[in-house]
Amino acid sequence: MNSYLLRNEVQPVVQRFLGERGLELSAEKTQITHSEDGFDFLGQTVRRRRCERVLLTPSRRSVQRLLSQAKERIEHSGSWTAGELIAQLNPLLRGWTRYHRHAASSRTFARVERALFGLVWQWARKRHRGRSATWVKRKYFVQRGDRLWVFRGELPNRDGRPTPIYLVQVSRLRIRRHIKIRGDANPYDPSWEPYLEQRWQAQMRDSETGTRQMRLLWRVQAGRCSVCNQKITLESGWHVHHNSWRVYGGSDRLDNLSLLHPHCHRQLHARNKELGPTASCEGRS
């Protein structure tokens, strides 16, 4: 379908359809373009490649906005230490990469990381104009695992002791494809509770708030499973369980959640049994 038909035949039909419902098509945001040229939507470029696949990638404007924000924070760092600067940059980088990691972002992440390295290297050299590049590298950049030149600083922990903090390595964040929900999933059918709970837990793990909630649950339960009372470890893994199932009106509040071993969780759902509420987490963050 060519652009003439889209503009003169299809677009008026869409405008009438929306107008009957009290809506209108924005003239500023409406764009007719070839699928291989693509278009930007919500910070991502949608483009068909080789007449086959439709790919989403972070848009140039989104990348430029991120680097501009990072550069602004670096330029206004004043007397910040390297640790304080990293503490300002990391939330910005984590939020941006988590938003885009469901797209085809690997190459873009690598370019962003190279640009960030240039910014922090320039910051370090300006901070110590009289020092050599070798000295600056030894002070601010370390090897971490198999990665060289990782920007490092220190921040005091709760006890006031200096603790290392590292700049987020954007290119190392895993790309996670969006998994569509199954078409026959029914949130009102108890048999679908484990499946929907698993999807909810995956979303919880991918957010800063969800990670903090799971850590709090682990502390409230003294690091033990609510079913078998055995230790929950990284090796054993864990699942987040709704004591009062959501299908029966249970909420996502912390006082309705429990951490269980994966096998305990499966056995619990197999018996179709609900747990009583754990220790209340109200008023805690």
Q: What is the pLDDT of residues 163-192, one digit of tens each?
A: 999 999 888 877 777 778 888 888 888 888
More confident residue, 273 or 210: 210
pLDDT digits (tens, 9 = 90+) for 34-71: 777 778 888 888 888 776 778 888 999 999 999 999 99
Q: Which two tokens stand for residue 31?
A: 């764009």
Is residue 79 domain-shared with residue 151, that is, in the same domain? Answer: yes
**Residue 74 sits in which domain range?**
60-172
Going by pLDDT thresholds of 50, 70 and 90, the confidence category of residue 271 is confident
Is residue 70 domain-shared with residue 163, that is, in the same domain? Answer: yes
pLDDT value at residue 89: 95
Find which of 23-27, 43-47, 119-123 is predicted with most confidence, using mean pLDDT.
119-123
Tell me what the pLDDT averaged over the chain comes to.
Answer: 85
pLDDT value at residue 83: 94
Going by pLDDT thresholds of 50, 70 and 90, the confidence category of residue 221 is very high
Tokens 């994966």: give the residue. 262
Residue 183 lies in a domain: no
Task: Say if residue 275's pLDDT is above 70.
Answer: no
Q: What does the chain come to in residues? A: 285
Is residue 97 domain-shared with residue 152, that is, in the same domain? Answer: yes
Name the domain count of the chain.
3
Residue 43 lies in a domain: no
Residue 2 lies in a domain: yes
Is residue 198 domain-shared with residue 166, that is, in the same domain? Answer: no
Q: What is the pLDDT averaged over residues 142-147?
A: 88
Residue 213 lies in a domain: yes
Share of the chain above pLDDT 90, in %: 33
Task: Say if residue 283's pLDDT is above 50.
Answer: no
CA distance to 6, 14, 28, 167, per residue, from 21 (Å)? 21, 11, 20, 49
Is residue 96 domain-shared with residue 148, that is, in the same domain? Answer: yes
Residue 278 lies in a domain: no
User: What global pTM score does this model have?
Assistant: 0.67
Find which of 8-22, 132-146, 183-197 is predicted with most confidence, using mean pLDDT.
132-146
Is residue 79 domain-shared with residue 166, that is, in the same domain? Answer: yes
Is residue 81 domain-shared with residue 145, that is, in the same domain? Answer: yes
Residue 178 lies in a domain: no
pLDDT value at residue 51: 62
Is residue 131 domain-shared with residue 203, that is, in the same domain? Answer: no
Residue 39 lies in a domain: no
